[in-house]
A and B are shown apart, each in its own frame.
Chain A
């Protein structure tokens, strides 16, 4: 029997790869034949997406990508090599993870609104650490500033952990990073968490309010992972895979495996997922537009 390929647009390691491997492993068990992860990194995720967009639409080649490729990249790149709205059809969301807005404990702000007031009172004094310009982390942080009206200098890092070190050391006051990356420092007091960016509180940090609760509704930002098929894939196949992913992510041990990595499983029907992607695309389009980044 033929192998099903889940194309991941990142190198091995990292959230997208991990979630795809968990899904592939469990789909293999359900189907009784192999589903494998194939890493096709590069081009900010576009290369992997493009290869699936051009694959035979028979359900044997799927795109296991993350939100940014399908929602943000079209605002950052002149030539994606594929059309995110037309060339790939949504199957299901698999999992998502929220970010945490945190400060160095020396910063006097005890809540998000106090931080906003503090930043507004001393313009040009505050900086925040996050990942490279154009990433989901950076755009989420810009969204937070857009919603709250505070303005800080962005200090970009290759990875979230590297920036975390400079925040804990007290060189940068504010941090915008995923929950799994920062949770150790939050728990031991190296960072003070002010808000999480999910619609609901995180099971890993139950005492930290959501951005909406902290007075910044609309600043929600998730890093999320989903599955897509090439455009011409028959409805029946797309529907079947969507149901199967829901099935394999339902058992308690699957939820536990994901939640330990900071992810919560969130399977959707193809229609729900399509609508979700569209909404995300509009939301980030507004923010990227307001940043005035030039398309590359």
Chain B
């Protein structure tokens, strides 16, 4: 079996003492930067990039990759414990993860997140090892028109993930789309709504918006109650998921892994959509859907598996086509080039030890993360015993540090505060911030892909139904929209009848 020989070759590289140590360092650093909202893998990898020049190529890449998925896991910790998503991918984690924590299941939530991530990481790593070559062509089938269709599904999905009133969810998505317009239009160079602040030339910082919308309103509403709660959460009973919780996490984990593995391979928006897509999927297929939004295992296990699977498979376009699918992958490509390794299908034959070493190290890294984090759950949860009067100040400080560190911009801290106030108003109005954020992230990409499709087709709108993929995706969007809209419309009519 070639695959087994290849994996053995890979493990002979990734299991050397030095490389294990680098994987460990990467995972620890990644977890730490991930826990701090905002301080993400991107900035950390950029700063450590020149250091790897002095290391063996495999060691350097293994360490940087460790930071990347360590940060994915670290981001879940702050999302669950204090409702702070550090990145777009952990926004969904806050919905049910933080609710679980509030019900005293913080330990279980962290364990489910770790186990789900490990399962997804294992499957995705195997998928890369077995199918990286054939799967690479998948990305080629996604042109601007297909991406546009995919994002349309994403927007309808944004309405699905909300558990409140339909009209409010739609309003939030639209508000998000409008906020996404701020900045410079790449097609004309026109500056939109940014003339007063040059800092807005590139638009609002996603991290500042996410931390502001999710983290701050929670703090404001806690403080508003006058006498501060002793601590945020009810005392926890057990650190471990119960048998029922374990049983309920299996199916969402498998579905999340499948969704994440596929979307992760798409350049641009794929990985960001993965956790949202998985949540929307659970909401439609799970028996426990009515519990979602109130701390359901499904709403946590699915998205957590999806975002980790996507983080792994986003290596595929880089390793096989030499085309990075996101900013972190562009940096990984930079790191490879610094070591005279040109990412392309040829590296599998030219540098087999490095290629398989890197792939197996992903699995090793995921194992290290589980081994490292399961025992640490007790310590993370202890953190919640700190009286709230001390804790909220610390959270604010770390939010500010994190938001600032993304691009060393003080302006972004003001943006965070502004969206904190916006989030507070939304909280009072019973509007959910998750659809807003998804609209904000997807809006600009949708517009770009829409206009790009028309530029390429010379203005022919037929391009949007020009391939099977677009047609299927648009059909899914329409069907989803109908499923969501019909009960709501019926509901309104019933209300109308009752009033008569």
Question: A residues engaging B (CB < 8 A)?
Answer: 11-14, 17-18, 21-22, 25, 38-44, 46-47, 76, 79, 81, 124, 127, 131-134, 153-159, 161-162, 164-166, 168-169, 171-172, 180, 183-185, 187-188, 190, 257, 260-262, 293-294, 296
Closest to B411 in A: A42
Give chain B residues whose Cβ lies under 8 Å from the Cβ of A131: 186
User: Could you pull out 6 A-B pairs where Cβ atoms are within 8 angstroms?
Assistant: A12-B43, A42-B411, A46-B198, A47-B199, A133-B187, A184-B321
Contact B407 A187 (CB under 8 A): no
Given contacts A12-B46, A42-B198, 10 further A-B contacts (CB under 8 A): A12-B47, A13-B330, A21-B49, A42-B409, A42-B411, A127-B455, A155-B455, A180-B337, A183-B322, A296-B190
- CB of B140 within 8 A of chain A? yes
A261→B342 CA distance, assembly (Å):
11
- CB of B498 within 8 A of chain A? no
A147→B263 CA distance, assembly (Å):
42
- CB of B133 within 8 A of chain A? no
Q: How many A-B residue pairs have CB under 8 A?
A: 148
Please pick, from A133, A157, A162, the residue contacting B188 in the complex, using a CB distance under 8 A. A133
Contact B323 A161 (CB under 8 A): yes
Give chain B residues whose Cβ lies under 8 Å from the Cβ of A18: 49-50, 334
Contact A171 B456 (CB under 8 A): yes
Give chain B residues whose Cβ lies under 8 Å from the Cβ of A169: 140-141, 143
Contact A132 B46 (CB under 8 A): no
Q: Mark B33-60, 1 if CB is under 8 A from A, else 0.
A: 0000000001101110110010000000
Contact B458 A132 (CB under 8 A): no
Contact A76 B408 (CB under 8 A): no
Q: Which of B315-358 contact A (CB under 8 A)?
A: 317, 321-324, 327, 330-331, 334, 337-340, 342-346
Please pick, from B268, B337, B343, B411, the residue contacting A162 in the complex, using a CB distance under 8 A. B268
Contact A133 B189 (CB under 8 A): yes
Give chain B residues whose Cβ lies under 8 Å from the Cβ of A46: 198, 201
Please judge, given known A-B contacts A127-B456, A132-B186, A132-B189, whether A42 and B195 are in contact too, CB under 8 Å. Answer: no
- CB of B163 within 8 A of chain A? no
A39→B344 CA distance, assembly (Å):
31
Contact B42 A13 (CB under 8 A): yes
Contact A164 B323 (CB under 8 A): yes
- CB of B139 within 8 A of chain A? yes
Please pick, from B140, B201, B268, the residue contacting A44 in the complex, using a CB distance under 8 A. B201
Please judge, given known A-B contacts A155-B455, A261-B334, A296-B190, whether A168 and B140 are in contact too, CB under 8 Å. Answer: yes
Please pick, from A13, A81, A132, A188, the residue contacting B334 in the complex, using a CB distance under 8 A. A13
Contact B407 A42 (CB under 8 A): yes
Give chain B residues whose Cβ lies under 8 Å from the Cβ of A47: 198-199
Contact B407 A41 (CB under 8 A): yes
Please judge, given known A-B contacts A12-B43, A183-B342, whether A296 and B189 are in contact too, CB under 8 Å. Answer: yes
Contact A132 B184 (CB under 8 A): yes
Give chain B residues whose Cβ lies under 8 Å from the Cβ of A40: 407-409
Give chain B residues whose Cβ lies under 8 Å from the Cβ of A155: 452, 455-456
- CB of B107 within 8 A of chain A? no
A41→B327 CA distance, assembly (Å):
16
- CB of B217 within 8 A of chain A? no
Interchain nearest-CB distance for A23 vs B (Å): 10
- CB of B202 within 8 A of chain A? yes
Give chain A residues whose Cβ lies under 8 Å from the Cβ of B144: 166, 171
Please judge, given known A-B contacts A11-B407, A132-B186, A296-B190, whether A165 and B456 are in contact too, CB under 8 Å. Answer: no
Closest to B408 in A: A39
Interchain nearest-CB distance for A286 vs B (Å): 17
Closest to B190 in A: A296
A51→B131 CA distance, assembly (Å):
49
A228→B456 CA distance, assembly (Å):
41
- CB of B191 within 8 A of chain A? yes
- CB of B291 within 8 A of chain A? no
Q: Which of B174-203 contact A (CB under 8 A)?
A: 184, 186-191, 195, 198-199, 201-202
Contact B330 A161 (CB under 8 A): yes
Give chain A residues whose Cβ lies under 8 Å from the Cβ of B245: none
Q: Which of B1-53 contact A (CB under 8 A)?
A: 42-43, 45-47, 49-50, 53
Closest to A79 in B: B198
Please judge, given known A-B contacts A12-B43, A166-B143, A184-B342, whether A153 and B455 are in contact too, CB under 8 Å. Answer: yes
- CB of B406 within 8 A of chain A? yes
Please judge, given known A-B contacts A11-B407, A41-B202, A132-B186, whether A17 and B191 are in contact too, CB under 8 Å. Answer: no
Give chain B residues whose Cβ lies under 8 Å from the Cβ of A261: 334, 337-338
Interchain nearest-CB distance for B133 vs A (Å): 13
Q: What are the nearest 4 A-B pairs in CB distance?
A: A184-B322, A12-B46, A43-B198, A132-B186
- CB of B402 within 8 A of chain A? no
A131→B345 CA distance, assembly (Å):
25
Interchain nearest-CB distance for A40 vs B (Å): 6
Give chain B residues whose Cβ lies under 8 Å from the Cβ of A14: 330
A157→B331 CA distance, assembly (Å):
18
Give chain B residues whose Cβ lies under 8 Å from the Cβ of A172: 456
Contact B456 A42 (CB under 8 A): no
- CB of B267 within 8 A of chain A? yes
A186→B377 CA distance, assembly (Å):
48
Contact B409 A165 (CB under 8 A): no
Contact B407 A39 (CB under 8 A): yes
A41→B148 CA distance, assembly (Å):
29
Closest to A188 in B: B344
Please judge, given known A-B contacts A12-B46, A13-B334, A261-B338, whether A165 and B323 are in contact too, CB under 8 Å. Answer: yes
